[in-house]
A and B are shown apart, each in its own frame.
Chain A
């Protein structure tokens, strides 16, 4: 166990699971039981049919994150858990902004606003316009500040999604999981123990 720091920082936890009712709760209570706030949580089908991927962001020390990840991986329907610092992932959050079309058309140089914030128009109607931007928290925050004076009607931000920089993808791993004949737990684990990137065991 390397020279990890006890300082708290953001960690991105990636969880591959079966698609099962109740599993979200089973994972969520691992955090709540330890009074750890979930900063962001995204769950959606992965690239593989029937497998779901969770992206969970928490601010904690690595030691706590590692223990929590082991508890998550212990759940029956969890296939694999990884955790990474922000430096180890590419991540994005998407935000939508609804503003009055009248106000925005009269008072703002829309073109400049879109260019400078990397935003685009999703819906343009007589009564309102919806902008969208994607980026890190500071970037989506910046557009709020710009639009606020012009009567921002509604704002929503998605959970974070993150791609692991140093990953070979889960596809091949899953195939390994599936290829194994029933009961050959040991071989399965042998596979999991290969390579530094696999954190389990």
Chain B
């Protein structure tokens, strides 16, 4: 078939119609949308699309994963490092339901995805056909938009809408379910036109100058202003605008775990991490600041702690692209609706150039207290066993903060986010809102495809690794170069920590056994080693980083170490505990 040899579409619709199948029209659409990588897994109801893909192998790099959940997490990792829309294929029924966790994760973390699922023939819908499941209704709560295609002629327009919706405004996952008959059906394909307008959809609120002025006035009067930033800065590609705002206003700034990296970790005005396991100063001083400036973040409960004791003394300025976020959790004094790439420069122009020396000093004093009570011992332990923190510290030495760190969920995630050095944006890939264990390995694969020239290091716990370790097969088959560090404390550590602190050490089902991970990796042809002595650490990390190809390093760490500081659930951020 000659179709694969040239793209049939120009950006503008063609004059002359060509007869294509629905499947071919889909793949043509992906090419125009600039898709280069697809993560997927074939099956009965998506076979016509895979058959068409056979002729598009040169243009569309399809990565065969080992499980659809792995596929969608890889799509997320790809989207997070590349800034592009992640594309995922899955078949009907179980293939589609296996996407649900990833969709929920992408929805809550605003990750742009287009997922294509096969569906049974349209005439079989509702008959409990083989591998039929009501994918549209199952995925409605966890998608920004979804749509079922039953006629091939709809495909170009629907795919165009899917990409536009996924990436515009506050990004999110879109799922398109295509019945098998529509995949096979031939129709007069008139070309593919990208979508840039939907009558009922307003991705960007208008920027209102009045609120910019009110916000600037508040900031200029403030004695103790404090910036909280989140992933919105990264999603809006507004890192430069953000940096300019921070540096001109001289305001101490703290990050959510999805926002980290928008300005470097060691920037003098970067005062650290917010939230339950965030830094001491940013949490305590939230309840001391007079103006709180939240930028592209959504006041998650893990950030705010107890809401009725959260920043009650402060005037709140909230910059967000999603109007539904304003006043959702924290009452706003001045709402600055809009894309922060547009609003930040307007605000920067109106704020006075200042240095809040005394106020910043206070943050540094808290940092020192935290170093004395927690950080010094975590990074320079005197115990015989290694800590998670010292592994991350040594890793920083080798990466100089330039690597992409993909973390899973749990204690190691908090340690990685707290201690890893990030010099660049789009460097921290982690499951923030949903807390999906098993995210890291497949996400790291996708992250590498999204940023091939960067080092990608997955930091995973022994529990989470066992949730999706089948994706080592994807690593093997693609020959992709990802480094995997398993921080093994032989426990489901975060749950154990809570059981220790709040359930009188009743360690209920957190004692998890693991296989020999190095042997498992070897089975997949992936080199690796396991270390349990501090003396081996630096060399082992160097060996891993210098290895040509993927590598698995298992580090045995202290069994019962706790992540501190900690804001216990139900407590105010100012009640953060250092031990």
Contact = CB atoms under 8 A, between A and B. Distances in A.
Contact of A22 (B140, B198, B337): B140
B361 interface: no
Interface residues of A, number: 35
Interface string A70-85: 1101101111000000
Nearest to A17: B200
Contacts of A184: 197
A183 interface: yes
Q: Specify which of B137, B145, B201 lies most central, judged by the most chain A CB atoms within 10 Å of its CB.
A: B201
Contact of A25 (B140, B199, B206, B208): B140
Interface stretch (A86-94, A125-133, A153-161, A186-194): A186-194
B144 interface: yes
Nearest to A80: B200
B337 A201 contact: yes
Nearest to A181: B197
A115 interface: no
B202 A188 contact: yes
B138 to A, nearest CB: 11
Contacts of A1: 327, 331
Contacts of B165: 76
Contacts of A33: 141
A192 B202 contact: yes
A26 B324 contact: no
Contacts of A189: 202, 204-206
B146 interface: yes
B324 A76 contact: no
Contact of B323 (A21, A70, A181): A70
B140 A185 contact: no
A178 to B, nearest CB: 6
Nearest to B328: A67
B206 A193 contact: yes
Contact of A70 (B144, B208, B324): B324
Contact of B205 (A29, A71, A77, A201): A201
Contacts of A139: none
Interface string B183-205: 00000000000001111111111
A76 B337 contact: no
Interface of B: 136-137, 140-141, 144-148, 165, 196-206, 208, 322-324, 327-328, 331, 337
14 contacts: A17-B200, A22-B146, A66-B327, A67-B324, A67-B327, A67-B328, A73-B323, A77-B200, A177-B199, A182-B196, A192-B202, A193-B206, A200-B323, A201-B323
Given A1-B327, A70-B324, 11 more contacts: A18-B199, A22-B136, A22-B140, A70-B323, A73-B324, A74-B324, A180-B197, A183-B196, A189-B202, A189-B204, A192-B202
5 cross-chain pairs, A with B, having the tightest CB-CB distances, nearest first: A182-B197, A189-B206, A70-B324, A183-B196, A79-B200
